[in-house]
Structure 1
Amino acid sequence: MSEVISKPELNNVDLEPLLIEEINNDFNLIEKSATNFDPRYILRVFRELGPLRRKLTSEALYKAIDAKYPNDHPNKAYLLDNVRYENGSMEIDEGDRDKDNDVEMQGDQEILPELDIFTHLLVQIYLHDQNDLKKLNQLNKKVVIALKSYNRRTLDFIASKVWFYIARTNELLNKLVPIRSELLLALRTATLRHDNETRASTITLLLRNYLLTNDISQASNLVEKTEFPTTVSNSLVARYYYYLARITAIQLNYSDAHEFAISAIRKSPQSKFSTGFLQSATKLNIVVELLMGDIPELSTFRDPLLEQSLVPYLAVTKAVRLGDLNLFSSTLDKYSATLKKDDNYNLVLRLRQNVIKTGIRILSLSYSKISLRDICIKLHLDSELSAEYIVAKAIRDGVLDAEINHEEGFMQSKELLDVYSTKEPQEIYDARIKFCMSLHNDSVKAMRYPMNNNRINLKNDLESKEREQDLLNYLQDGSDFDFI
């Protein structure tokens, strides 16, 4: 047993220098991005942050911070305190320190703001993964102070990630309301500084905060009074569209909610780590489609990534499609815990009227004439009066093409009309045209053009302008045309 336990420890010791080297490489890329004003290096660091996060240890992070920060830096002490060894205070021998890290880093080297905030981000991620929320909450207060002291555009991408972990910490500690003032202040500052990445991040965090506390009116006001930047990463855009879909669905605006949910699914990153978000967006889209009176395609439920999680929604879809009120009630009782966990239970409750409407529509197609009493019995309604009210509302909403004989108490279906004599084909064709146009516009925006050709043309234009200016100056100076 002792040999089995000591083996992983040996592997961790062997991998520690490689992990420290990887952290130092990220530090160098951050510094290169800050000096060259090129955000591509920061984006490269964030692409590799996931694998680094899964193997991050307190020992490697401690040594990397201790080697990079000067001893007199004011942030070094509390950063090291948050990543100390679990067995107490950590002491590193000076010989090992000089061996593993560059000695000149301990000198008078100045720490760039980008590097300082990125180091805070690494400590935030480590404490979050260790579930040490108390330390993380104390660190977040100092991170906010550090963010307010800097004003550099090369910090935008790092600051957006930092604010995410600040909001996530307060969410886990159930302190949703106190963080709103800081998020609103950060949103105002980012808007004034034209910091699109932080602005998009704080808007999505505020919308999530309002939805978790059921403050739908405040979330709607935020959407109306702010403009979400479209030039940010797809993950932020997808999250924003998802929250818009949930807000509009709660406000009974199902057509807009359906469009937002589809946009969130399309903008979702194509990786295995975004499966959870894709499941949540697909679940919401299925419920919204059912509330609109449509039935989702069967291929949606056969996706290998979504099949297992969509089992309750497939059962609800079957109940709505069959118009069986008893089946719908039993399905709701069976999967109520799952629907409440997905925050879709209240939306699914609204489908009861859709189930009844579907049942009435099936009856109208099966019977040209049926009494209200038979409708009440077949749909398991309370009384004939409620059946008459539901049928009348279905006729008014355009679900049925029938009429009610109130004196004799029956429903008479009209003859089926040709669908091409209605506006339905035109509406479907218009929706497809809009989708194709939006896809074309997004493709044009996503295109990248080679820089060399533009630079050559720009250089030629500058040279031609200089020649023209020289010619004009020469002509103004004298009448000799030897220059030509």
Structure 2
Amino acid sequence: MEVEATPEQKQAETHLARSIKFLQRGIAASETHYIYRALRTAFSLRKRLQPDVIAEIATAYNSNGNSQSIKNCLNVIFESLQQSPTESTPASVTCEPEVCLFLGLLSALYLLDNGHIESGANLTEVLVEAISTAQRRTLDPISSRVFFYYARFFEVANCLADARPKMLSALQAATLAGMKETKAMLLTLLLRNYLHYKLYDQAERLTAKSSFPADAPNNLLARHLYYLGHIEAIQLNYSQAQTHLLEATRKAPSNAATAGFQQTVHKIYVIVELLMGNIPDRSLFRVPTLKKPLQPYLELTQAVRVGDLAKFQDVVGKYQDRFLKDNVLALIQRLRHNVIKAGIRSISVAYSRISLRDICLKLHLDSEEDAEYIVAKAIRDGVIDATIDHENGFVQSADVHNVYETSDPQYAFDRRIAFCLGLYNDSVKSMRYPDSNHRKELASTMEVLRRERELAHELENDDFDGDSDVDAMDEGL
């Protein structure tokens, strides 16, 4: 006895059938915007889909005319959902690769939401194999999402390294096939994979030998820029890391859905700013979505700005677990030298002459020799303008000069001008202009208008001549 479907199941089945119609329309017209529309509709039904609904739709496409890879995918879908094909539904429709991957993607979402990690990993492996056998333009949006959940299942199972070989081979295939969104997704997932295992050198080589697609979606671009910024920060390239992280915050939309991403990016961004010797603006820590997550980083910034080494160590010890969870403790430990430099700079401004013993006490250093070495390095790096009297054991600060007599304002203006020019160039590149085909259409339109005017003029002359003939005939009569 068949159980009657509930209204929610009927509604979900209707929306799923509509999504498949969008897929078929996109396949027929070779237009990807229909594929994106189907994906948006499907993800809105994520929490309402049931395995029997997916199995019933998949049964209609379980035809003998399908290729072997499609048959394997459909069989694995039924096995993962623990369903069997419905015998009452005739299987007479050939299943396209896009439809098969779409049904497999829905099944993977259901398995992930219900905690069936092993079944989901097996299913996504079969879907990845099907992608390698059928590579075409309309498959690009779906395959990128399949690879995302393929990596996600392996990450949840804590065996993310096992997914790396297939993603590397798929990246090469996607590059050769011109599947730009899949390539962008795979590059982002591989960077995440390398960062998870702290393989920073391999991640740097990957970015050096590959190019990220310029027309990739903003969500992928923002994540890719974040991973690049994290890698550059680890590799001591702080200026490039700052640029990538700042672009990532601008590319990602500012709403409740992306609050977690904004928080993660700004945590790295604050540390990079401190490592560069800059102090982040206080307004950054007052943003409602960032205020609570960035509270430890605010206290860290205050300790670095004042140059209080004891306070800095207290903050690191207090929030060490959180810094470890955020994967930024290694970067924060580099700030100790910045704290000491900030303390020396404030001491140099406050005192024209101060003994090394007092510097040791104020900075909480171990010995006067350490204070002497640190002050000497600060003088060599240009942090302070002073001299050390080694015999008497004190530091003599030079007279304070007017900052406008130095080249610092010029450097500040150069940075601002470079930023404005870069923003202008990016804006020009992002503009889209119509092709030159409209000129041909304009020329043909002008030709049609000219012919219509000539025809109207001829008709007008013909009417005038006809009236004259009629008048002459009347006069003859």
What band does the TM-score fall into relative to the shorter chain?
Answer: 0.7 to 0.9
The 8 Å contact of residues 293 and 354 in structure 1, kept in 2 or not, is answered as: yes
Cα-to-partner distance string for 1:270-321 (whole Å, 9 max, x where unaligned): 4422211111111100000011111100111111111111111111111111
Matched, 1:327 2:325: no
The equivalent of 2:161 in structure 1 is 177
Q: How does 1:384-403 map to 2 (within 5 A)?
A: 384-403=368-387
Cα-to-partner distance string for 1:412-455 (whole Å, 9 max, x where unaligned): 1112222223332222222222222232233333334568xx65
The 8 Å contact of residues 386 and 395 in structure 2, kept in 1 or not, is answered as: yes
* SS of match in other structure, 1:53: coil
Q: CA 1:462–1:426 in structure 2 vs 1: closer, same or farther (change >3 Å)? A: farther
Instruction: For residue 68 of structure 1, report the CA deviation from its aligned partner.
Output: 4.5
The equivalent of 1:418 in structure 2 is 402
* SS of match in other structure, 1:412: strand
Q: Distance in 1 between matches of 2:439 and 2:143?
A: 37
Match of 2:17 among 24, 47, 51: 24
Letter in 1 for 2:178: H
The 8 Å contact of residues 59 and 85 in structure 2, kept in 1 or not, is answered as: no
* SS of match in other structure, 1:403: strand
The equivalent of 1:5 in structure 2 is none
The 8 Å contact of residues 246 and 284 in structure 1, kept in 2 or not, is answered as: yes
Q: What's the % identity of the aligned pairs? A: 42
The 8 Å contact of residues 54 and 103 in structure 2, kept in 1 or not, is answered as: no
The equivalent of 1:120 in structure 2 is 104
Instruction: For residue 250 of structure 1, report the CA deviation from its aligned partner.
Output: 0.6
* SS of match in other structure, 1:315: helix
Letter in 1 for 2:370: S
Please, what TM-score do these two structures have when normalized by structure 1?
0.85
Letter in 1 for 2:31: D
Instruction: For residue 352 of structure 1, report the CA deviation from its aligned partner.
Output: 0.9
Q: Distance in 1 between matches of 2:413 and 2:40?
A: 40
Cα-to-partner distance string for 1:350-398 (whole Å, 9 max, x where unaligned): 1111111111111111111111100000111001111111111112222
Letter in 1 for 2:77: L
Q: Distance in 2 between matches of 1:279 and 1:238?
A: 13
Instruction: For residue 232 of structure 1, report the CA deviation from its aligned partner.
Output: 0.5
The equivalent of 1:141 in structure 2 is 125
Stretches of structure 2 lacking an aligned partner (at least 5 in a row): 448-477
The equivalent of 1:131 in structure 2 is 115
Q: Distance in 2 between matches of 1:415 and 1:123?
A: 73
* SS of match in other structure, 2:159: coil
The 8 Å contact of residues 295 and 317 in structure 1, kept in 2 or not, is answered as: yes
Match of 2:422 among 438, 445, 452: 438
The 8 Å contact of residues 61 and 91 in structure 2, kept in 1 or not, is answered as: no
The 8 Å contact of residues 308 and 339 in structure 2, kept in 1 or not, is answered as: yes
Letter in 2 for 1:297: D
Aligned residues: 439
Instruction: For residue 14 of structure 1, report the CA deviation from its aligned partner.
Output: 2.8
Please, what TM-score do these two structures have when normalized by structure 2?
0.87
Q: CA 1:409–1:462 in structure 2 vs 1: closer, same or farther (change >3 Å)? A: farther
Q: Distance in 1 between matches of 2:25 and 2:228?
A: 37
Q: Distance in 2 between matches of 1:48 and 1:252?
A: 44
The equivalent of 1:251 in structure 2 is 235
Q: Distance in 1 between matches of 2:57 and 2:152?
A: 26
Q: CA 1:446–1:46 in structure 2 vs 1: closer, same or farther (change >3 Å)? A: farther
* SS of match in other structure, 1:252: coil
The 8 Å contact of residues 24 and 64 in structure 1, kept in 2 or not, is answered as: yes
The 8 Å contact of residues 101 and 142 in structure 2, kept in 1 or not, is answered as: yes
The equivalent of 1:76 in structure 2 is 74
Instruction: For residue 256 of structure 1, report the CA deviation from its aligned partner.
Output: 1.0
Q: Distance in 2 between matches of 1:70 and 1:234?
A: 38
Q: Distance in 2 between matches of 1:391 and 1:270?
A: 44
The 8 Å contact of residues 66 and 80 in structure 1, kept in 2 or not, is answered as: no
Q: Distance in 1 between matches of 2:378 and 2:233?
A: 21
Cα-to-partner distance string for 1:165-189 (whole Å, 9 max, x where unaligned): 1112222222232222111111111
The equivalent of 1:98 in structure 2 is none
Letter in 1 for 2:75: A
Q: CA 1:278–1:54 in structure 2 vs 1: closer, same or farther (change >3 Å)? A: farther
The equivalent of 1:294 in structure 2 is 278
Q: CA 1:245–1:60 in structure 2 vs 1: closer, same or farther (change >3 Å)? A: same
The equivalent of 2:44 in structure 1 is 51
The equivalent of 2:288 in structure 1 is 304
Q: CA 1:49–1:416 in structure 2 vs 1: closer, same or farther (change >3 Å)? A: farther
The equivalent of 1:190 in structure 2 is 174
The 8 Å contact of residues 77 and 107 in structure 2, kept in 1 or not, is answered as: yes
Matched, 1:348 2:332: yes
- Over the aligned positions, Cα root-mean-square deviation in angstroms equals 2.3
The 8 Å contact of residues 60 and 91 in structure 2, kept in 1 or not, is answered as: no
The 8 Å contact of residues 356 and 368 in structure 2, kept in 1 or not, is answered as: yes
The equivalent of 2:342 in structure 1 is 358
The 8 Å contact of residues 77 and 104 in structure 2, kept in 1 or not, is answered as: yes
Q: Distance in 2 between matches of 1:50 and 1:390?
A: 58
Stretches of structure 1 lacking an aligned partner (at least 5 in a row): 1-11, 95-102, 466-484
Q: Distance in 2 between matches of 1:219 and 1:447?
A: 31
Q: Distance in 1 between matches of 2:253 and 2:280?
A: 23
The equivalent of 1:8 in structure 2 is none
Cα-to-partner distance string for 1:65-93 (whole Å, 9 max, x where unaligned): 23454477523332122224xxxx57869
Q: CA 1:195–1:380 in structure 2 vs 1: closer, same or farther (change >3 Å)? A: same
Q: CA 1:45–1:425 in structure 2 vs 1: closer, same or farther (change >3 Å)? A: farther
Cα-to-partner distance string for 1:319-374 (whole Å, 9 max, x where unaligned): 11111111111111111111111101111111111111111111111111111100
The equivalent of 1:379 in structure 2 is 363
Match of 1:457 among 431, 439, 442: 439
Instruction: For residue 258 of structure 1, report the CA deviation from its aligned partner.
Output: 0.7
Q: Distance in 2 between matches of 1:332 and 1:13?
A: 56
Q: Distance in 1 between matches of 2:64 and 2:51?
A: 19
* SS of match in other structure, 1:127: helix
The equivalent of 1:232 in structure 2 is 216
Matched, 1:214 2:212: no
Q: Distance in 2 between matches of 1:49 and 1:399?
A: 58
